[in-house]
Amino acid sequence: MMNKDEIRKHFAYLKTGIIYFNHASTGPIPDFTVEAVKNYLYQRSEDSIDNYEDVLRIVKETKELFARFINTSPDRIAFVDNVSNAMNLLSQGLRWKEGDEIILFDIEFPANVYPFLNLEKLGVKVKILKTQNGRISFDEIEKNISSRTKLLSISHIQFLSGYRADLEKIGNLCRENGIIFSVDAIQSLGVVEIDVKKMKIDYLASGIQKWFLGLEGTTIIYISKSLQEKIDQKYVGWLSVKDAWNILDYKLDLDESAHRFENGTLNYAGIVSLHSNIKFFQSIGINEIEKSVIENTKYFIRLLEDEKFEFFFKPEVDEEMSGIITIKVKDPEFVFRELKQRKIHTSVREGYLRFSPHFYNTKEEIEEVVKSLRDITNKTL
């Protein structure tokens, strides 16, 4: 059973009176991860400046831990710097023919759009499907698949609406039709379960700085062995090859694992934060975390409904829910600033006010946020 009181002790900001409902933007770093990163930096400044063995051990362990977290093997995991570059790795690595088609959606974050729009100059057709009240229609996906559909890319959880896609259902459809299935998981990692085998995911990318509470500048990619064999890797570096430390033997023999996509020196501080946080999330259990997030979301929605707020998207079933709740208010920038004055952190996206509490946030915090919203919005009437 999750002990929220004990978990909350790890978040220093809570001592300041802040109510942080902005995990969809940037997550707070827990104290044990601050210590882990500090220890790494102290080592770099004191007696272990060039202790690469320890760093490489952490990288190896992190891949092993994360592989278990998403149900794959460590050789299918690589680290890059951000999701945009991860998606460019995919889009630029595939061999495209004029008339090939890609399916995207009209509420995707641009990191999962621009790398594919960039292919239109090659004659690739990008279909951006319209959503219905923030919801992605499976029937619409089916209708838009053709014999030329090569790839479908989707966010597991949408950054604006919070809609959670049924990846298993979509993944099965893609597999049946020979379509590459790509997933941006930055809004779902650390919130809900991800199983790349069960969901038939070919490619997955996620930063760690949001719900996974890590540092910016580290993104995880998962790539299936079968998809890797289809990638014509455009960018290589000295660490992409099998025998990297045979430095002057210029043999471009790419590593057989996903490690080949790590062209050079990695963001080791970011990986240290990931290493620390995976252990934290595993100790609690992703199912327990998801249960708490959904309970918070349901309670938050119910209180907002009581106050007659209008939602950008309102889930009909638990399986569509995430930790993101977005509402329409008059003058959202004013409401955002007023909430910030009360130490309530939210965000404004596309003219809507977005809330994103995590599993450790409490019902009391939700009640305080709704009370403050009521007071502030009454001023704007």
Instruction: State the CATH number of the domain containing residue 98.
Output: 3.40.640.10
30 lies in some domain: no
Structure tokens at 24: 């969809």
One domain for residues 265 and 312: no
One domain for residues 305 and 204: no
One domain for residues 124 and 50: yes
32 lies in some domain: no
One domain for residues 71 and 213: yes
- Alpha helices (H) in 23-147, listed in sequence order: 31-45, 52-70, 83-93, 114-117, 138-144
29 lies in some domain: no
Query: What is the separation of C-alpha 14 from the centre of its chain, rounded to a whole number of angstroms?
Result: 24
Rounded Cα distance between 328 and 338, Å, is: 16
In terms of residue numbers, what domain contains 321? 4-24+285-380
Confidence of residue 290 (pLDDT cuts 50, 70, 90): very high
One domain for residues 150 and 173: yes
Structure tokens at 380: 């704007």
Domain final residue, candidates 237, 260, 282:
282
One domain for residues 45 and 85: yes
- With 0-12 / 13-18 / 19 or more C-beta atoms within 10 angstroms meaning exposed / middle / buried, residue 226 is exposed
Domain final residue, candidates 265, 282, 299:
282
pLDDT at 52 (0 to 100): 85
Confidence of residue 1 (pLDDT cuts 50, 70, 90): low
269 lies in some domain: yes
Rounded Cα distance between 39 and 44, Å, is: 9
One domain for residues 242 and 306: no
pLDDT at 380 (0 to 100): 65
One domain for residues 72 and 184: yes
One domain for residues 277 and 289: no
Confidence of residue 294 (pLDDT cuts 50, 70, 90): very high
One domain for residues 231 and 274: yes
326 lies in some domain: yes
- With 0-12 / 13-18 / 19 or more C-beta atoms within 10 angstroms meaning exposed / middle / buried, residue 10 is middle
One domain for residues 45 and 151: yes
Q: Does the predicted TM-score (pTM) go above 0.75? A: yes
Q: What is the average pLDDT value for the chain, to the nearest integer? A: 97
Instruction: State the CATH number of the domain containing residue 15.
Output: 3.90.1150.10
pLDDT at 378 (0 to 100): 87
State mean pLDDT over 15-42. 98
CB 64 within 8 A of CB 74: yes
Structure confidence by residue, pLDDT tens digits, 43-93: 989 888 888 889 999 999 999 999 999 999 999 999 999 999 999 999 999
pLDDT at 381 (0 to 100): 57
Our count of domains for the chain comes to: 2
State mean pLDDT over 356-378. 97
Strands 149-155 and 101-105, how do they pair?
Answer: parallel
Please indicate whether residue 213 or residue 381 has the higher confidence score (pLDDT): 213
31 lies in some domain: no
**Measuring CA to CA, which residue among 136, 117, 135 is closest to residue 126?**
117
- Helices 52-70 and 268-284, interaxial angle, to 10°? 40
One domain for residues 320 and 345: yes
Structure confidence by residue, pLDDT tens digits, 255-289: 999 999 999 999 999 999 999 999 999 999 999 99
Residue count of the chain? 381
Domain final residue, candidates 234, 252, 282:
282
